[in-house]
Chain A
């Protein structure tokens, strides 16, 4: 089991290294860092001096190592636009994105899984058709369109919910949360639903197709042949077998939720990392872009790792393989 864990961790580190290489390439070779940092009137001699000072003339490998070393100390340089340390910029907006991602994922799971189970068990019913139609619409609507429509309906026409911002936030240590205030809670509803809708769709379809597959297996047939009740068969056996692969895929989806938050944050002017990244892309602010990439990669890789290990814990077949490995 230990070898299995170690192997997976090493794989994760390898991926991180590759991503770091890409980030470094972006930093160093895309555009000229010097030109980005200084004004137009800086002389060529001064630029050369700056270049030497920043170690930009050293061999590439040395620069890469230095880059990784700084990264490990959370030093990612200065943003071209804002002239502030990147890590401070991102750090300040990190909680907003994470809260949004978390709430939307929770929403999607709590609604999506039951919907998926229902449509698998009651295949011809009208409610299933309704759910499936909703899911089709959910997959076809781009996130930004959902956001706009929701704003138009609830904020502009009905005036019930705010259309931008995070509301009041409470600071706890280095974290800021909007979940403890009324205005914060009201502010997170529309963005969370927007971000959650497409996830809900995916989860529902996934649960449905997995469950339909499981219901066709021999062991379900045998369970019925043994006279087990429908409830025991559907919820005791089928559901458990369905949720195991679903959990892993959902876990992997969490990563992309953070990426899709970019869109949601833009539509709702939500002060998170995604919005920051977008502005960086629009202005070719390489340090912010590259750091965001690294951070998101780290989150993805960590989630993948956790999901893999979780799978090993839940599915006994993999546990044995892992032990044998």
Chain B
């Protein structure tokens, strides 16, 4: 069995506010294998971005990692001293954000930003770093890189900027890239190109990807496995094909049903009634139970853990014996 590149166990991200402690990510567990693409999908506010930020150690106060473990090739990285964590960032874990315009410092040429990143993580001289930067730009598909390396970010179009951002993230050849909604801020026509580019780059470099998005289509195209998040918890995690074709958790079923499929004639799209609960009002037991069409007695009382079911993991009482049932069995 291959060893996991990234291993997250019972991760808990909380915020201390004057109204008490709010839990935004509540006991999330998953693995990412080397070179695999894990999609993390869910509505806005489900805790996907925070999970990504927690892994790379960029949670800002008053948020903090309240509990759990994050291991990178076996070593714990969740409470490292700042200097050691800094060396992991960029070099072993990279991150890409949603809006390429605001991700780049507008006052610096992109060549300088690339060279700076390369020099920070390698022993290359500035000249060698510049050559490397040119190669990176070619790799991400920027035409005429020698001409454009001394341009400023605002001189690039949105799609080109995101390519530059990808080049920056890959500059030190990290083992894992966390991509937080990398295509949401782009035109639809450009989205496909960027996704294809991301796929290719990661395949060529053997980089694993944690692809955070609310767009199920992107996941279906790109990911190997997918984790579905709801209200700060993972409700289902499995191979993309399985989750899309035969979803298990009622939320996932609703999610898949709400996606229009051009080749299937659906009279009506499924709509999940209600809204995802706010952090201050998370229901007891299973967070989804107020909206779940198949909720029954234990759902409001006890929270189901992620348990393996076939090839996937589901957090739902429909797929695991409740304590009451287990006790009844004796």
Contacts and interface: CB of A to CB of B under 8 A. Distances in A.
**Chains A and B touch (C-beta atoms under 8 A apart):** yes
A271 B110 CA distance: 53
Interface residues of B, number: 32
B120 A316 contact: no
B154 interface: yes
Contacts of B102: 217-219
A148 to B, nearest CB: 43
A230 B86 CA distance: 9
B185 to A, nearest CB: 11
Nearest to A244: B107
A228 B107 contact: no
Contacts of A59: none
Nearest to A319: B152
Nearest to A218: B102
A136 interface: no
A316 B106 contact: yes
Contacts of B56: 225
A227 B120 CA distance: 8
Interface string A212-251: 0000011101111111111010001100110010000000
Given A218-B102, A316-B152, A226 B169 contact: yes
Interface in B100-149: 102-108, 116-117, 120-121
A232 B105 CA distance: 13
Nearest to B90: A227
A320 interface: yes
Contact of A222 (B82, B155, B165, B172): B165
B95 interface: yes
A317 B117 contact: no
A227 B89 contact: yes
B155 A320 contact: yes
B137 to A, nearest CB: 16
Contacts of B165: 222
Contacts of A223: 105
Contacts of B171: 226
B227 interface: no
Contacts of A320: 152, 154-155
A92 interface: no
Interface of A: 217-219, 221-230, 232, 236-237, 240-241, 244, 314-317, 320
21 contacts: A217-B102, A218-B97, A218-B102, A219-B103, A222-B168, A224-B86, A224-B89, A225-B97, A226-B117, A227-B86, A227-B88, A227-B121, A227-B172, A228-B117, A229-B120, A230-B82, A232-B116, A232-B120, A240-B107, A317-B106, A320-B152
Given A224-B89, A227-B88, A227-B89, 17 more contacts: A218-B97, A218-B99, A219-B105, A221-B97, A222-B95, A222-B103, A222-B168, A224-B58, A225-B95, A225-B97, A226-B90, A226-B94, A227-B86, A244-B107, A314-B107, A316-B154, A320-B154
8 closest cross-chain pairs (CB), A and B = A227-B90, A227-B89, A218-B102, A225-B95, A226-B90, A219-B105, A222-B103, A316-B152
